[in-house]
Amino acid sequence: MVPICLAYLLGLTAFAVSEWPIRLAVLAVFLALTAFMALRSGTTALLIAAIAVFGTVRYAAYVQRRPDDISNFASGKQVRITGVVAADSDIVGRRLTTIVRVSRLEKNGGQFPASGRIWTRFYLPKRPSTEDDLPDYGDVISFNCFLRRPIEFGNPGSFSWPKYLERQRIFATAYSRWDKADIECSHIAGGGPLSRAAHALRHKLLYLIEKRYPRAEAGTVAGILLGIATDLSPADRIAFSRTGTYHLLAASGFNCLVIIIVFGRYLFPWLRLHKRRSHLLLVCMLILYAMISGGRPSIVRAAIMAGLYLLAFVMNRVEDPINILATAALVILIARPTDFFDVGFRLSFAAAASIIIIAPILKSWRESRPAKIKDWHKYLYYPGQETLEAAIATTAVTLGTAPLIAESFNQFSLVSIPANAMVAFLALLVFITTTLSLAFGWIPIIGDAVNLLGIFVVRVMLWIVRTLGSWEYALASVRSIGTVALAGYYLLLGVGVWYASDRLTSRKR
Question: So what's the pLDDT on residue 463?
Answer: 92
Tell me if the domain spanning 70-190 has CATH number 2.40.50.140.
Answer: yes
Report the share of the chain in percent with pLDDT over 70: 89
Closest by CA to 292, choosing from 199, 186, 431, 189, is: 199
What DSSP letter does each residue of 284-320 carry, written as one string?
HHHHHHHHHTT--HHHHHHHHHHHHHHHHHHTT----
Domain range list for the chain: 2-62, 70-190, 199-370+377-478
Cβ contacts of 414 within 8 Å, gap of 6 or more: 473, 474, 475, 476
What DSSP letter does each residue of 418-436 carry, written as one string?
HHHHHHHHHHHHHHHHHHH
CA distance 136 to 86: 9
CB 259 within 8 A of CB 268: no
Q: Max Cα separation, the chain?
A: 79
CA distance 428 to 5: 33
CA distance 136 to 186: 9
What DSSP letter does each residue of 88-110 carry, written as one string?
--EEETTEEEEEEEEEEEEETTE
To 10 degrees, the CA torsion angle through 98, 101, 103, 104?
30
Question: So what's the pLDDT on residue 469?
Answer: 87
Burial of 384 (0-12, 13-18, 19+ CB in 10 A): exposed
Cβ contacts of 336 within 8 Å, gap of 6 or more: 62, 297
Cβ atoms within 10 Å, residue 268: 18
Confidence of residue 163 (pLDDT cuts 50, 70, 90): confident
Confidence of residue 130 (pLDDT cuts 50, 70, 90): very low
CB 318 within 8 A of CB 346: no
What DSSP letter does each residue of 118-149 carry, written as one string?
EEEEEE--SSGGGGGGS--TT-EEEEEEEEE-
| Secondary structure (3-state) at 78 | strand
Whether residue 376 is predicted with pLDDT greater than 60 in this model: the reply is no
Q: Which pLDDT tens digit goes with each residue over 470-495?
A: 888 888 877 777 777 777 888 888 88
How many CA atoms within 13 Å lie on the side-chain side of 143? 29
Q: Which amino acid is at 149?
A: R
Could you tell me how many helices (H) and strands (E) the chain has, helices first? 18, 10
**Whole-structure pTM value:** 0.78
**How far is the CA of 163 from the CAs of 7, 52, 134, 201, in angstroms?**
24, 23, 29, 35
Whether residue 365 is predicted with pLDDT greater than 70 in this model: the reply is no
Cβ contacts of 409 within 8 Å, gap of 6 or more: none
Confidence of residue 205 (pLDDT cuts 50, 70, 90): confident
Q: Which pLDDT tens digit goes with each residue over 249-288?
A: 777 777 787 788 778 877 787 777 788 888 888 888 888 8
Confidence of residue 155 (pLDDT cuts 50, 70, 90): low
CA distance 287 to 436: 21
CA distance 161 to 411: 21
**How far is the CA of 426 from the CAs of 189, 302, 419, 440, 463, in angstroms?**
33, 21, 11, 21, 11
**Please, what is the end-to-end C-alpha distance for the chain in angstroms?**
29
Q: Which pLDDT tens digit goes with each residue over 42-101?
A: 788 888 888 888 888 888 888 888 888 888 888 888 889 988 888 777 777 788 888 898
Confidence of residue 187 (pLDDT cuts 50, 70, 90): low
| Secondary structure (3-state) at 476 | strand
Cβ atoms within 10 Å, residue 188: 10
To 10 degrees, the CA torsion angle through 241, 245, 247, 248?
-130
Whether residue 427 is predicted with pLDDT greater than 80 in this model: the reply is yes
Confidence of residue 362 (pLDDT cuts 50, 70, 90): confident
